[in-house]
Chain A
Amino acid sequence: DTGVSQDPRHKITKRGQNVTFRCDPISEHNRLYWYRQTLGQGPEFLTYFQNEAQLEKSRLLSDRFSAERPKGSFSTLEIQRTEQGDSAMYLCASRASRDRGRVDTGELFFGEGSRLTVL
């Protein structure tokens, strides 16, 4: 399978615990995105990497959240001291860079998501 893969698919944890999600993008894609989707809502942008550099972070990403992409390949999203409000689906997406010009219209390819339930 050469799509975006996420692990784990489901995580149930108790409030206050730390959790980490992993995303493996499509291998030739240098751009990687994290989104969060709560029940009945559309996905909301969290953060974005180009290679190993984290270029943009949403205000939704509180200081309990940290994302890394150390070698420019897979990425991890860690949530510390989880709260019940963190319960959501965490989506990862990737795409190739086509920014030799300034116009960039590349499609995002999404993984199936990691569903977090905080009890």
Chain B
Amino acid sequence: AQSVTQLDSHVSVSEGTPVLLRCNYSSSYSPSLFWYVQHPNKGLQLLLKYTSAATLVKGINGFEAEFKKSETSFHLTKPSAHMSDAAEYFCVVRGLWIKAAGNKLTFGGGTRVLVKP
């Protein structure tokens, strides 16, 4: 079984300040972990993914995330928020082994980011 918990349903930051979105996961298998972003009336877009290579993963638009197995965490960060970062962000877990964990993604509940000017 696998699950994802996003610790904050809403995060409000000022433009130019750092962003931290927290995610903890639970997985019986070595997981693949993803962060997706959803802008209003837009499809989900992949920001970055962890697939058992480097634990610090860099994504698009200046985002990065660090996989910490000991803490079962995969927090998303960005050094300086931009107005265009206002959106909903989803942390996602997926079992690595096809036959054992299936192919489906398990999404967290989402974190809505508000960026103040």
Contacts and interface: CB of A to CB of B under 8 A. Distances in A.
Interface string B100-111: 001111111110
Given A110-B44, A111-B43, A105 B32 contact: yes
A94 B104 CA distance: 11
B103 A43 contact: no
B99 A102 contact: yes
Interface stretch (B11-19, B60-68, B74-82, B90-98): B90-98
Interface majority SS (helix, strand, loop, mixed), chain A = loop
Nearest to B108: A42
B43 A110 contact: yes
Contacts, number: 65
B105 A4 contact: no
Contacts of A45: 104-106
Interface residues of A, number: 28
Contact of B103 (A103, A104, A107): A104
Interface string A79-119: 00000000000010100000100111101111111000000
22 contacts: A4-B43, A40-B109, A41-B109, A42-B4, A42-B107, A42-B108, A42-B109, A43-B90, A43-B107, A45-B104, A48-B104, A55-B103, A91-B43, A102-B97, A102-B98, A102-B99, A104-B96, A105-B49, A105-B51, A107-B46, A109-B46, A112-B42
